[in-house]
Amino acid sequence: MRAAFRVASVAALAIAATTASHAESPGAANPAVKRGAYLVRFGGCNDCHTPKVMTPRGPAPDPGRELSGHPASVTLPPPPDLAPDKWMAATNGDLTAWVGPWGVSYAANLTPHRRTGLGDWTVEQFVKTMRTGKHLGTGREILPPMPWEDLAALNDQDLRAIFAYLRSIRPIENQVPAPLPPK
Ligand code: HEC
């Protein structure tokens, strides 16, 4: 009981430390950035867009590589054979690469890095992308499992807040590969 409590308070301290470091990050005083951080957390963006570290409870987001997308340095073996009456989709250990009937998709780099992230996107392009499910609002269709339909249900203010938060995080250089067509 006592040990369990100690573990719980260590976890609480770790959470407090994470929150504190977030509070000190640039732009954190901006209410839109704060709201964006909250929505990104609830929206599970880290589940797919942040590379993982292995823990006894499975893969967990690596805070040092927040939202930097599928790591360009990782070479994956060919995807397993899938079929609708067997297993329909599979993912890698980072949960950043996904294979299914749509081919292979790689979670995008959402950091403000200019060349490899969303650095050159405008807030209008971000909102349009999430509303239409098309790259920059006019390009190719965004592939599963990116849940853009869920984001499309948010109001403009919340989508703008998400973008404000994505602008406030550390830019990380990581060129995510282009998706592969189905076999
Ligand atoms: C279940 C996994 C998953 C979750 C959760 C997820 N994404 Fe994605 N996301 C992806 C994948 C995979 C792609 C790449 C899709 C493609 O190449 O078409 C992507 C692409 C994107 C893109 C780039 C679209 C483009 O036009 O290039 C943006 C922006 C994005 N996601 C934002 C978010 C945000 C913000 C959240 C959280 C609210 C989120 N994603 C949650 C998997 C996910």
Residue 25 pLDDT? 56
Of all protein residues, the one whose alpha carbon is nearest to atom 1 of ligand 1 is 145
- Does the CB atom of residue 47 touch ligand 1 within 6 A? yes
Quick check: is 157 in a domain? yes
**Is 97 in contact with 146 (CB distance < 8 Å)?**
no
Quote the mean pLDDT of the chain. Answer: 89
Q: Is the pLDDT of residue 19 over 90?
A: no
Strands (E), 31-182: 52-55, 58-61, 90-91, 97-100, 103-106
Kindly tell me if the per-residue pLDDT of 180 is higher than 80. yes
For 48-81, how does the pLDDT look when each residue is reduced to its tens digit (9 = 90+)?
999 999 999 999 999 999 999 999 999 999 999 8
Domain that holds residue 97: 31-168
* 175 domain-assigned: no
Angle at 71 between CA 68 and CA 76, to 5 degrees: 150
Alpha carbon 26 to its chain centroid, in Å, reads 20
Q: Does some domain include residue 116? A: yes
Query: Does 113 contact ligand 1 (Cβ within 6 A)?
Result: no
Averaged over 147-158, what is the pLDDT?
98
* Mean local confidence (pLDDT), 139-143: 98
Residue 2 has pLDDT above 60, yes or no: no
Q: How many domains does the chain have?
A: 1
Q: Predicted confidence band at 5 (pLDDT cuts at 50, 70, 90)?
A: very low
Quick check: 81 and 63 in contact, CB under 8 A? no
- Residue 182 clears pLDDT 80, i.e. is over it: yes
In a domain, 64, yes or no: yes
In a domain, 9, yes or no: no
Determine, yes or no, domain membership for 2: no
Q: Is residue 63 part of a domain?
A: yes
**Any idea what DSSP says for residue 18?**
H
Residue whose pair of structure tokens reads 């971000």 in the numeric block: 126
CB of 74 within 6 A of ligand 1: the answer is no
Residue 152 lies in a domain: yes
Q: Which atom of ligand 1 is nearest to the CA of 162?
A: 35
